Amino acid sequence: MNFEDFKLSEGTLRAIFKKGFEKPTLVQEKVIPILLNKETNLIVQAKTGTGKTASFGIPLVELLEPKKHVQAIILTPTRELALQVSEEINSLKRKKLKILPVYGGQSINLQIKHLKNGIDIVVGTPGRILDHIERKTLDISKVSYFILDEADEMLDMGFIEDVEKILKNTPQNKFFLMFSATIPQKIISLAKKYIKNYEVIKIVDKELTTKLTEQIYIEVNESNKLEALCRIIDLEENFYGLIFCRTKLEVDNVSNKLIERGYDAEALHGDFSQYQRERVLKKFKNKKSNILVATDVAARGLDIDGLTHVINYSVPLNPEYYVHRIGRTGRAGKEGIAITFVTPREYRQLFRIKKFSNAKIKEGKIPSVEQIIENKAQKIKEEILNAKIKVNDIYYKLAEELMENSDNKEIVAMLLSKAFKGLDPNSYEKITFTRKNSSSKVRLFIAKGRNTGMTKSSLIEFIVQNTSISRNVIQNVTILDKFSFITVPYKEAEIILSVFKKRGKRSIVSKAKAKN
């Protein structure tokens, strides 16, 4: 299925292709037609990373016309998600629709000013939205769409009362959509209470396993990815690898930059004609180029022997893609290595992949410049010592003359630097790793307290046992009667939240509710 099949307007299609999306994801295939045809209310079981935002974002930008009142309201459990969702919808629109993220922590007066100017789509956290409704600075009595994003998370965080209060301010006649990674009973109860007819769509991941030799993830910032990639390529003596990107744009971007830096890279994505595709593949299979940068869709069905690496430049959209991607190395008894770049925001996705694929994905590091240069130097040494070149007498004579009056070491060094490039540390960029979110530690709420006999050390033990995170990152442990709190760095919080997220059940760990 293609985006063209939805019969979208030209403007929307252009926006989608500008984003570099090639094909609709599973959730988009199912949800977009239903929303476009205004068929029914929906409960959609889909996780973040499946393309769910665009599955409602595309129909919204297609169907809504700019008006001076709020036509759609989207509730999210966190301010990060509110921002993400509003950015995604903004990037999909071609009309003069106004979209506003509204969340706690941002100046309320500024939000009021924007709201007064007339907004079409409001995306926000429940607390702040309710605040605006109560101040009468936000009127949602004419919305046509009410969307709950990450509904299970929202209920876990105790927002149910707020959500119900907000719902009471919406008209009877509207579309109600819920997106949720799990569908526990309380979501069904909420739906039954407020919507008469609805359909449930489940996007279920199939279980798959992999037989890959070595799987590694490396934490990087978006801005360091290219440098990290170059270093990995340089470290390997005979790099022969597939680099996976999420979109066509990214494929073009990465392959062009690699070529600029002197690599033999080729690109492959859905815009290529059959002829171009065959040409690229032939070149790659014959090792005329040793790097192929591709999208998941373009690489479907590829079968290439002897790859040394598969690199996930972007974390794949769904765990299934991961298994497909890395299934391409380690074939035919040869060892392969799969490396996944993970930005701090994507830890949760990585964790899902680990669970889904049953894979052991170990943490790795970006190779250091010293390491690469040392490797290259060793290689040059071996090459020279093992070289079996018959040297003409004239060269011997020239060598004698050169060495007569000069420092031998200097002469050899000069010749080496002329003959072998790439030993200059300055040809590498510095990687200054700053984790955008890492300084912000996360306070977690644990629904277990002193009344179950828990102590500080037993709580730490419990977390460490279940998640294998290091105990010394757990700080500020507070044990109260019925519940407790801990503070951990961003990355570990993502891991803990994923581990304790039980399908269909209330998780005993959640982000502590911030004053919204």
On whether the CB atoms of residues 347 and 491 are closer than 8 A, the answer is: yes
Residue 246 binds ligand AMP, judged by CB under 6 A = yes
Stretch that binds ligand AMP, among 51-59, 236-244, 301-309, 329-337 (CB under 6 A): 51-59
On whether the CB atoms of residues 22 and 269 are closer than 8 A, the answer is: yes
Binding mask 54-73 toward ligand AMP (x if CB under 6 A, else -) reads x-------------------
Q: Which residues within the stretch 73-102 sit at the binding site for ligand AMP (CB under 6 A)? A: 88
Q: What residues contact 127, with CB distance under 8 A and at least 6 apart?
A: 104, 159, 162, 515, 516
Residue 51 binds ligand AMP, judged by CB under 6 A = yes
Binding footprint of ligand AMP, residue count (CB under 6 A):
17
Integer Cα distance of 189 and 461 in angstroms: 36
Least separation in angstroms between CB 149 and ligand AMP: 9
On whether the CB atoms of residues 224 and 366 are closer than 8 A, the answer is: yes
Least separation in angstroms between CB 54 and ligand AMP: 4
Look up tokens 């706690």; give the residue.
104
Q: Which string of DSSP letters, residue by residue, matches 287-318?
A: TSSSEEEEEHHHHTT---TT-SEEEESS--SS
The pair of structure tokens assigned to 73 is: 């309201």
373 phi, psi to nearest 5 deg: -70, -40
Residue whose CB is less far from ligand AMP, 240 or 321 = 321
Binding mask 22-41 toward ligand AMP (x if CB under 6 A, else -) reads xxxx--x-------------
Q: Which string of DSSP letters, residue by residue, matches 30-55?
A: HHHHHHHTT--EEEEE--TTSSHHHH
On whether the CB atoms of residues 371 and 231 are closer than 8 A, the answer is: no
Q: Which residues within the stretch 306-325 sit at the binding site for ligand AMP (CB under 6 A)? A: 317
Least separation in angstroms between CB 350 and ligand AMP: 14
Residue 53 binds ligand AMP, judged by CB under 6 A = yes
- List the one residue from 21, 146, 159, 244 that touches ligand AMP (CB under 6 A): 21
Least separation in angstroms between CB 199 and ligand AMP: 20
Residue 201 binds ligand AMP, judged by CB under 6 A = no
326 phi, psi to nearest 5 deg: -80, -10
Least separation in angstroms between CB 402 and ligand AMP: 59
- List the one residue from 12, 45, 48, 290 that touches ligand AMP (CB under 6 A): 48
Residue whose CB is less far from ligand AMP, 56 or 103 = 56
Residue whose CB is less far from ligand AMP, 88 or 131 = 88
Least separation in angstroms between CB 317 and ligand AMP: 5
Residue 354 binds ligand AMP, judged by CB under 6 A = no
The pair of structure tokens assigned to 306 is: 């002897």
Q: How far is CA 371 from CA 258, 375, 378, in A?
A: 21, 6, 11
Residue 290 binds ligand AMP, judged by CB under 6 A = no
Least separation in angstroms between CB 51 and ligand AMP: 3
Stretch that binds ligand AMP, among 45-53, 409-417, 425-433, 453-461 (CB under 6 A): 45-53
Work out the widest C-alpha separation in the chain, in whole angstroms.
Answer: 97
Among 367, 360, 310, residue whose Cα is nearest residue 338: 310
Least separation in angstroms between CB 121 and ligand AMP: 15
Stretch that binds ligand AMP, among 5-13, 46-54, 258-266, 502-510 (CB under 6 A): 46-54
Residue whose CB is less far from ligand AMP, 22 or 162 = 22
Q: Which string of DSSP letters, residue by residue, matches 418-472?
A: HH-----GGGSPP-----TTTTS-EEEEES--GGGT--HHHHHHHHHHHH---GG
Stretch that binds ligand AMP, among 6-14, 49-57, 338-346, 369-377 (CB under 6 A): 49-57
Residue whose CB is less far from ligand AMP, 182 or 375 = 182
On whether the CB atoms of residues 123 and 99 are closer than 8 A, the answer is: yes
Residue 49 binds ligand AMP, judged by CB under 6 A = yes
**What is the dihedral angle through the alpha carbons of 341, 345, 349, 350, rounded to the nearest 10 degrees?**
40
Least separation in angstroms between CB 25 and ligand AMP: 5
Alpha-carbon Rg for the chain in angstroms: 28
Look up tokens 């040297």; give the residue.
391
Residue whose CB is less far from ligand AMP, 76 or 247 = 247
Residues of this chain that interact with ligand AMP (CB under 6 A) are: 21-25, 28, 48-54, 88, 246-247, 317
